[in-house]
Amino acid sequence: MKASKVAYKPVGWALGAISGALAGAVFKQVWKAIGHEADVPEATDQDRGWREVLIAATLQGAIFAGVKAAVDRGGATAVHRLTGTWPG
């Protein structure tokens, strides 16, 4: 395993935690805007329909994936600029 990959691991973990928190906040705001309510439907919520639960889950997954990719790419780019080596 390359030394740059090992050195980047802690940075990657920190960025993962940050991206998860950021994605959660973004999703809640988006859901409030389109769902007109603060509560996100849970899969086991008896009072919510299949459509609403699946739309919320799909939207949440897309937001998490997009935010994670943006944060990971930004972190890798920053490391490359600082060290001259691409992590990975």
pLDDT class for 2, splitting at 50, 70, 90?
A: low
pLDDT class for 80, splitting at 50, 70, 90?
A: confident
Residue pair 25/66 in contact (Cβ under 8 Å)? The answer is no
Instruction: Give the C-alpha separation, 75 to 86, whole Å.
Output: 10
pLDDT of residue 88: 72
Write phi, then psi, for 85 (nearest 5 degrees). -120, 135
Residue 59 in any domain: the answer is: yes
Instruction: Give the C-alpha separation, 52 to 84, whole Å.
Output: 47
Residue 88 in any domain: the answer is: no
pLDDT of residue 83: 85
Residue 17 in any domain: the answer is: yes
Instruction: Give the C-alpha separation, 45 to 25, whole Å.
Output: 21
Residue 44 in any domain: the answer is: yes
Domain that includes residue 71, residue range: 3-83
- pLDDT, one tens digit per residue, over 21-67 is 999 999 999 999 987 777 888 999 999 999 999 999 999 999 999 99
Total domains, the chain: 1
Residue 23 in any domain: the answer is: yes
